Amino acid sequence: MTIRSRSPLRALFVASLVAAIPSASTANPYAAYVDARVLTGWRESGTRHVAALELTLAEGWKTYWRAPGDAGVPPVLDWHQSDNIAGVSISWPTPEVIDQNGMTSIGYHGHVILPLRIDMETAQAGKLEGALHIGICKDICVPITLDLRAPIPATGTSDPRIHRALAAQPLSAKRAGAGKATCAVEVIDGGLRVTARLALPSTGAVEHAIIESRDPQVWVSEAVSRRSGGTLTATADLIHMTGAAFALDRAGLRFTVLGSERAVDIQGCSAE
Asked if 8-167 and 171-271 have one fold, the answer is yes
Q: What angle do CA 87, 254, 110 make, to 5 degrees?
A: 70
Per-residue confidence (pLDDT) for residue 26, from 0 to 100? 53
At residue 99, the pLDDT reads 84
Contact (CB, 8 A) for 116 and 83: no
Phi, psi of 270 (to 5 degrees): -105, 165
Contacts of 54 (CB under 8 A, 6+ apart): 36, 37, 38, 39, 111, 112, 113, 114, 161
- Burial of 184-197, coded b for 16+ CB within 10 Å and e otherwise, reads ebeeeeebbbbbbb
- DSSP string covering 210-267, please? EEEESSTTEEEPPPEEEEETTEEEEEEEEEETT-------GGGEEEEEEESS-EEEEE
What pLDDT does 18 receive? 42
Residues in the chain, pLDDT under 50: 1-25
The amino acid present at 60, given as its one-letter code, is G
Q: Quick check: pTM over 0.85?
A: yes
CA distance 55 to 68: 16
DSSP 94: P
Alpha helices in the chain (DSSP H): 8-19, 160-167, 173-176
- The domain segmentation of the chain, as residue ranges, is 8-167, 171-271
The length of the chain in residues reads 272
Q: Give me the CATH topology for the region 171-271.
A: Immunoglobulin-like (2.60.40)
Q: Report the CATH number of the 8-167 domain.
A: 2.60.40.1250
